[in-house]
Amino acid sequence: MTVGIKSQVSSMLIDAATHYQTIDNFGASDAWSMDPIGKHWTDENKTRVADLLFSRENGIGLSAWRFNIGAGSEETDREIIRNPWRRAEAFRMSADSDYDWSKQAGQQWFLRAAKERGVNTLIAFVNSPPVWMTKNGHAQPDPGVGSTNLKPGYEPAFASFLIDVLKHFRNEGIEFQYVSPINEPTWDWNNSGQEGNRYNNDDLKRVLLEVYNQLKASDLKTKISAADGVEITSLLDDDLFEEFSGEQQYSSGANALGTGKYREYIKCMLGDPELKEAIGHKIASHSYWSDYDKPGDDRLGKLRELLVANIERYDPDAVYWMSEYCILGHDGHGRDFGMDAALRVARAIHFDLAAANAAAWQWWTAVSKEDYKDGLIYTDFKKPGDEQNILPSKILWALGNYSKFVRPGAVRIALNETDEDLASGLMGSAYLHEGERTLAAVFVNDSGEDRRISVSLQGLDVQGGVKVMHTYVTSEKHDLAQSDEVKVSANGTLEGIIPARSVVTWNGEWS
C-alpha cells in the first residue's frame, strides 16, 4: 500500500486554560497469568516483563496495578474452571483455618515489582467471595443460588476477610489505595470458566456499605472502587438507555433471572447518599462492547455523551474510572501483533478520556497465553519446562503513548479538533502536568494517509518556555520510538506530521 500525505493541513488549538478531568492513572491487572509466571519463570524473564509494564525508562510506565484477591477455585473448582490459568488460590480456605500468606505467590512477586518501580495506585479486586462464604461452595454461581452466591448474612465476614488481606499487605509495606469488592455484578456467572459472582442492586448495597463501615473502623486509608460494571450501557438510567438503544431497559446478564435489578448503577450508587459517600463520589465501569461506531449504534461518541450526562444528573463532581477493557466478541479472537488492534484500542482510550472524561484507564490482563486480543504481552508458555518467551504487542506500546507521558496529576486540557478530522480518523487530546512541568498531546491517526497538523498553544505561558516537543511513535515499524522533534515557534505554533496508522505523543517541558 502506498501511503501519501493528505495535502490539507489540519489546524488544531490547545487551550491550556480550559481544564477537564485530572488523570489518576493508567493500569492493567494481574488476572490470572501473573501467578504461574511469577511462580515458574526465571528472575531475569520476570524482571523483563515487570520492566515492560511498570518502568518509565524501559517500558510503558503503568501507574496502576490491579491485584486479584482469589476465592479458592484452584482448590474447589477444577472440574468447572478447566483452564488452570483462570483459577485462583485463596489466602484462607475456611472460617476456622489460618491465613496462608504464601498463596498467590506469583501475583505477589509482580505486586512488589510494581511498587518497586514506582506504581502509586494499587487496587485489590475480587471476582467472588471466598468459596467457603458462597452458597454452593464454588467460586461462581449456579442457577439455584438466587440473586447472589454470597451466603445470607455473610457481608460482615466477607468485609472482614478483605480488611485482613489489606492489613496484611499494609504491614508488609504494600498499601492498597483501593479495594474493589465486586466485579461485573450484572453477569449471571452461572458455572462460568472463571471466578465470578452476581449481585442485584440490593445485594451490592449491603456489601459495599459493610466494607465501607469496616474500613472506617480500621486504620486503613484504602478507599472503595465500584461497581466495575461490565459495560457502559449497564450503568445508564432506563430513560437514557432507551434514548441510546430504543429499548425500554438494559436486559442483559442476570436481569433475565427474575432475581432483582442488575442495572442503572449510576442511579444506584451516585443517586443514593449512603452509597455515594461509600464509593467516594467515584464510579468505575468497564468499556467492553463500547469500542465501535456503527450507523444507529454509536458506542464511541453518543454512548459516552449519555454516560457523562447521566453522571452529572446525580453528581456533577463525581469521578469516572474506566477500570477494565480488552477487545471482545468476534473481533477478539486471534492474537494481533500489528496496528489493527492497537488502533482500535487507541480509539477506545481516546474516547474514554476525551468524551467520557475518564480519570483512569485500565487494561484487562497484562500477560496472556491465549489466542485472543486480551493481552498487552503474550507468551506461549503454558507449564513449567515450556519456553518462557515474551511477545510484546502493539497494544502495549499504543497504551504506552498515554501511560508513559500522561502521568498521575496531569489535567486534560482542551484540544480542539474539527468534526472533519474525527470523521477522517484523526483525533487528539492534550494534558498539562504542573508538577512535572510537562505538556503532552497524544494523536491517533487511523487513516491510511500521513496527516500534517498545525497546533496553536494558548491559555498558559508555555509558548516561551516550551522550545521543543519530543515525538514518540507507535506504528507498524516503531514501538513507542522517539522520532523527530517538533519545534515550537515564537508565537506558540507547532507543525508536524502524524504518520498513517499510528499513535503519536508530543511531549515537552517548560522552564
Which whole number is the average pLDDT over 21-28?
99
Confidence of residue 6 (pLDDT cuts 50, 70, 90): low
**492 phi-psi bin (left φ>0, alpha ψ -120 to 50, beta other):** left
| 1 pLDDT above the threshold of 50 | no
Please give the helix or strand (H or E) that residue 311 lies within, else none.
Answer: helix 302-314
The Cα diameter of the chain in Å comes to: 72
Would you give the end-to-end CA distance of the chain in angstroms? 43
Which whole number is the average pLDDT over 224-234?
98
The domain spans of the chain are: 5-18+414-509, 24-409
d(CA 269, CA 78) in angstroms, rounded, equals 35
Q: What is the pLDDT of residues 422-468, one digit of tens each?
A: 999 999 999 999 999 999 999 999 999 999 999 999 987 655 578 89
| 510 pLDDT above the threshold of 90 | no
Q: Which of 196-200, 402-406, 415-419 has the lowest mean pLDDT?
A: 415-419
Mean model confidence pLDDT for the chain: 97
Query: CATH fold of 5-18+414-509, please?
Result: Immunoglobulin-like (2.60.40)
Nearest to 473 by CA among 398, 367, 373: 398
Q: What is the DSSP string of 253-276?
A: GGGGTTSS----HHHHHHTSHHHH
Q: Tell me, what's the pLDDT at 419?
A: 87
Nearest to 310 by CA among 262, 250, 356: 356
Q: Please provide the CATH number assigned to the domain covering 24-409.
A: 3.20.20.80
Please give the helix or strand (H or E) that residue 293 lies within, else none.
Answer: strand 293-294
Q: What is the pLDDT of residues 315-344, one digit of tens each?
A: 999 999 999 999 999 999 999 999 999 999
Q: Which of 13-22, 212-221, 235-244, 483-492 has the lowest mean pLDDT?
A: 483-492
Q: Parallel, antiparallel, or unpaired: how do β-strands 450-458 and 5-22 relate?
A: parallel
d(CA 505, CA 511) in angstroms, rounded, equals 20
DSSP label at residue 4 = -
Q: What is the DSSP string of 353-372?
A: HHTS-EEEEEEEEEEE-SSB
Please give the helix or strand (H or E) that residue 350 lies within, else none.
Answer: helix 339-354
Q: Tell me, what's the pLDDT at 168?
A: 99
Nearest to 91 by CA among 177, 164, 33: 164
Residue with grid cell 493508567, as numbered in its chain: 26
d(CA 146, CA 131) in angstroms, rounded, equals 16
Instruction: Compute how many other C-beta atoms are within 10 angstroms of the C-beta atom of residue 227.
Output: 30
Confidence of residue 263 (pLDDT cuts 50, 70, 90): very high
Q: Tell me, what's the pLDDT at 136?
A: 99
**Total length of the chain:** 511
